[in-house]
Amino acid sequence: RLGQDDQRLGGLIDSLGGQIQAAKKAEEARRALEAKRAEEAKRAEQARLAEQAKRAEEVKRAELARRSDEQQRSAQALAAQEEQQIERARRAAQEQERAQTTRAAEVASAPQSGEGLKKGLRWPLRGSVMARFGTDRPEGGMWRGVLIKANDGAPVQAVGGGTVVYANWLRGFGNLLIVDHGEQYLSVYAYNQSLLKQVGDSVRPGDTIALAGSTGGQVDSALYFEIRHRGAAVDPLMFLSR
């Protein structure tokens, strides 16, 4: 009986040993399979990542190509805009040149020199004579023209036809305008509040060319008027109508 018991125990142990060995081999096989699957999964993940990186690189290259195309189109558009601006500037310069040529032609065709001044001229404005030609000036020297009292802003009229050759501020004379009447005759209008004509403008007798004032350091509003012939001042009252 004891021997049978030992046999059964031995058989059990043998059976258990076989089972243990089988289980060990099965575990080793399972681990090997898992390791193989893990390796395959790793390789698959690496392949997926590599494919993803490849696609990302392709997308990046495509984006760079698209941006390059956009930049090229933008550069082409900018170049076209610059060409248009250059063309507009060229046309504007041509228009300005034509306008200047036309203006020069108008000035050239205008009566640059008239027939001079004759006696009986209209007065540049109506007012009492405050100072006459050849009389002493309070600050010294003599009057080379006449000083005519005028209301501030009163219209100043050209005494004869001609062309404006000066229209600007001049120290001591304020807003000054000079008209060339031809035959070396000039008429001079000073102390004006404002000037209504520019250099090159043609004027006719009676045209309003300025507004009377007190510029040039004057206290009272008045018009200082001169007539020059061949550069020398002459008595305006010899030419103005009585």
User: What's the average model confidence in pLDDT over 91-98?
Assistant: 78
The predicted pLDDT at position 73 comes to 80
- Contact predicate 189/231, CB 8 Å: no
C-alpha to C-alpha distance for 175 and 167, rounded to whole angstroms: 7
CA dist 5 → 8, 16, 186 (Å): 5, 16, 158
| Residue where the block lists tokens 């061949």 | 230
What angle is formed at CA 131 by the lines to CA 114 and CA 135, rounded to 5 degrees? Answer: 95
List, in sequence order, the alpha helices (H) in the chain: 2-109
| pTM over 0.75, yes/no | no
C-alpha to C-alpha distance for 137 and 223, rounded to whole angstroms: 15
Task: Place 4 in a pLDDT band, splitting at 50, 70 and 90.
Answer: very low
Return the bridge partners of 167, or none. 177
pLDDT at 10 over 70: no
The DSSP-derived string for 26-46 is HHHHHHHHHHHHHHHHHHHHH
* pLDDT tens track for 47-64: 888 888 888 888 888 888
The backbone torsions φ and ψ at residue 141, rounded to the nearest 5 degrees and listed phi first, read: 85, -175
**Extents of the domains making up the chain:** 1-109, 129-238
| Superfamily (CATH) of domain 129-238 | Glucose Permease (Domain IIA) (2.70.70.10)
pLDDT at 14 over 60: no
pLDDT at 112 over 60: no
Can you give the length of the chain in residues? 242
The predicted pLDDT at position 26 comes to 80
Exposed/middle/buried for residue 175 (C-beta within 10 Å: 0-12, 13-18, 19+): buried
* pLDDT tens track for 165-220: 999 999 889 999 999 998 889 999 999 999 999 999 999 999 999 999 999 888 89
C-alpha to C-alpha distance for 180 and 169, rounded to whole angstroms: 18
C-alpha to C-alpha distance for 84 and 4, rounded to whole angstroms: 115
Pairing of strands 202-203, 162-170: antiparallel
